[in-house]
Structure 1
Amino acid sequence: MKQITSSQNSYIKRLLKLQEKARERKKLGLFIIEGLREISLAIKANYKFETVLFNSHLISQTEVEDIFKNTTELIEISKEVYEKLAYRNSTEGIIAVAQSKNFSLNEIKFKNYNPLVIIAEGLEKPGNIGALLRTADAANVDAVFIANPKSDLYNSNIIRSSVGCVFTNQIAVGTSEEIITFLKENNISIYAATLQNSNEYHLEDYTQPTAIAVGTEATGLTTVWRDEATQNINIPMQGKIDSMNVSVAAAIVVFEAKRQRDFK
């Protein structure tokens, strides 16, 4: 088995570049996953792996081989190399290099005739995207569409903050116009979370094919969503401010839709 003990190794330098730069991830079609939970979720989602690096002081070779069933190249790395690569402190001594998937709208396949979809437009902060993906997983929505993305979904911060839910959700990326066209072609009603010309969210019927669109806390959804929506909706605010975190807003409306559908 190959061993790497120096953080100056050319392959390790390549992985650091891969971890830090979205352009490099896009060019190579590869990204980094840390941690047993996240890697296990990626395996269940049928991701393919180029290599797996592990530190034997934290996880044994036998444990790693049991996870990957001899299908992936394993590299043992020293503590120095592991600490150089590790994005956070507690990732159980294992780091995987995985092949990216295509987040095309053409890849979306709904498992039932009555889909429930979340759309997030223009989100930039990895923590907000990760939290939104956790909400989507918790509600078991049929898909998450990221409109006009400002962050690479394989950013280590998004993988970490989503606790691997970037692998558990069916995701597509596109422009707002492309996503709106897709929704209309599939007869999915659009409910846009915005203050303008809106009804209170709990007064709407989400029992039919439904897409719930949310924007950034700072600027909200762009005009195209407000104009093309079946209905604009708002969450009544009872405090001093007029907005809330995007993942929280999405969760409130999505779980109202789930309630109306008897949590099916």
Structure 2
Amino acid sequence: MKSISSLHNKNIKQLLQLQEKSRTRRKEGLFVVEGLREINLAIAAGYMFTEIYTCPEVFSAEHIPHINTGNATLINISQEVYQKIAYRNSTEGIIGIAKNKPHLLSAIELPENPLILIAEAPEKPGNIGALLRTADAANVDAFFIANPRTDLYNPNIIRSSVGCVFTNNIAMASSAEIIAFLKEKNINIYTAILQKAKNYTSQNYKEASAIVVGTEADGLTDEWRTAATQNIKIPMEGKIDSMNVSVAAGILIFEAKRQRNN
């Protein structure tokens, strides 16, 4: 097995560039995954790894047989190198470089009666990660990002999603493209908009449904207001009229799940 102990090694320099720069990730078509759980989730989702780095002082060799490394090159790194490249403090001493996926809308396959969660223009990695966790927890049929502003393979998204970026059926496209997709497939569109909205519990989500949330700062664009089957709202009993987008998405999507399970 190849070993690296120098911070100036070209492989390590490339890994740091992939961690730090979205432009490099796009250009190379590669991204960094840290942690045994996240790497195993990515492999299970069909991601191909080019290199997997392990630090013998931290990583337990007994885990190696449980990783389907495919054609990835396995490389030992020194503890000094690992401490330099590790994005988190508790990632079991394993870091991989994987090939990204295009997440095309045209590649999405849906069941007969789908439930979809859609977020328009989410920007904060923490919010995107939380939305991905919500989508995974509800086991939605797809999670769409409309008008994406942030690189899906940002290390902060992978970290905050605890690997749910690999467990969801994800597509990214413009709002117009996603709306056309939903209309073509006769999927009802329920938009989280306060104006001309009905209580979210009053709607029937048992048929093919998409629940759409916007950013806390800007809400949803007029494209979604026009396309909506119905605007829905969560009644607010406090002194403000907004809540974290992932919290709102969780309330709405789990109401849909409750109806479908009854």
TM-score (norm 2): 0.97
Distance 2:62 2:244 in 1: 43
What is the identity, as a one-letter code, of the residue corresponding to 1:40? Answer: N
Report the 3-state secondary structure (helix = DSSP H, G, I; strand = E; otherwise coil) of the residue aligned with 2:207. coil
What is the identity, as a one-letter code, of the residue corresponding to 2:102? Answer: N
Alpha-carbon shift at residue 102 of structure 1 (Å): 1.4
Change (3 A) 1:3 1:126: same
Distance 2:185 2:84 in 1: 47
Alpha-carbon shift at residue 61 of structure 1 (Å): 4.0
Report the 3-state secondary structure (helix = DSSP H, G, I; strand = E; otherwise coil) of the residue aligned with 1:52. strand
65-74 or 98-107, which moves further after superposition?
65-74
- Aligned partner of 2:156 in structure 1 is 157
- Aligned partner of 1:232 in structure 2 is 231
Distance 1:28 1:214 in 2: 31
Deviation by residue 1:98-151 (Cα, 9 ceiling, x = unmatched): 0101110011001x2000000100110000000000000000000000011111
Distance 1:69 1:214 in 2: 37
- Equivalent residue runs for 1:79-158 within 5 Å: 79-110=79-110, 112-158=111-157
> Number of residues paired by the alignment?
262
Change (3 A) 1:261 1:92: same
- Aligned partner of 1:34 in structure 2 is 34
- Aligned partner of 1:24 in structure 2 is 24
- Aligned partner of 2:14 in structure 1 is 14
Alpha-carbon shift at residue 60 of structure 1 (Å): 3.6
- Equivalent residue runs for 1:204-223 within 5 Å: 204-223=203-222
Alpha-carbon shift at residue 71 of structure 1 (Å): 3.7
Distance 1:70 1:29 in 2: 18
Change (3 A) 1:121 1:96: same
What is the identity, as a one-letter code, of the residue corresponding to 1:242? Answer: D
- Aligned partner of 1:76 in structure 2 is 76
Change (3 A) 1:130 1:70: closer
Distance 2:168 2:201 in 1: 25
What is the identity, as a one-letter code, of the residue corresponding to 1:238? Answer: E
Distance 2:66 2:135 in 1: 30
Conserved? CA contact 2:5–2:78, under 8 Å? yes
Alpha-carbon shift at residue 72 of structure 1 (Å): 2.0
TM-score (norm 1): 0.97
Change (3 A) 1:209 1:61: same
Deviation by residue 1:189-228 (Cα, 9 ceiling, x = unmatched): 1000011111111000100000000000111001110111
Distance 1:170 1:37 in 2: 18
Q: CA RMSD in A?
A: 1.1
Distance 1:21 1:66 in 2: 31
Alpha-carbon shift at residue 66 of structure 1 (Å): 3.8
Distance 1:240 1:150 in 2: 30
Distance 1:66 1:141 in 2: 28
What is the identity, as a one-letter code, of the residue corresponding to 2:5? Answer: T
Report the 3-state secondary structure (helix = DSSP H, G, I; strand = E; otherwise coil) of the residue aligned with 2:59. coil
Alpha-carbon shift at residue 11 of structure 1 (Å): 1.4
Distance 2:13 2:47 in 1: 23
What is the identity, as a one-letter code, of the residue corresponding to 2:155? Answer: S
- Aligned partner of 1:55 in structure 2 is 55
- Aligned partner of 1:44 in structure 2 is 44
Report the 3-state secondary structure (helix = DSSP H, G, I; strand = E; otherwise coil) of the residue aligned with 2:165. helix
Sequence identity of aligned pairs in percent? 62
Distance 1:135 1:81 in 2: 34
- Aligned partner of 2:174 in structure 1 is 175
Distance 2:65 2:191 in 1: 47
Alpha-carbon shift at residue 40 of structure 1 (Å): 1.1
Distance 1:162 1:116 in 2: 20
Which consecutive residues of structure 2, in runs of 5 or more, have no partner in the other structure?
none
Alpha-carbon shift at residue 70 of structure 1 (Å): 6.0
Distance 2:25 2:65 in 1: 26
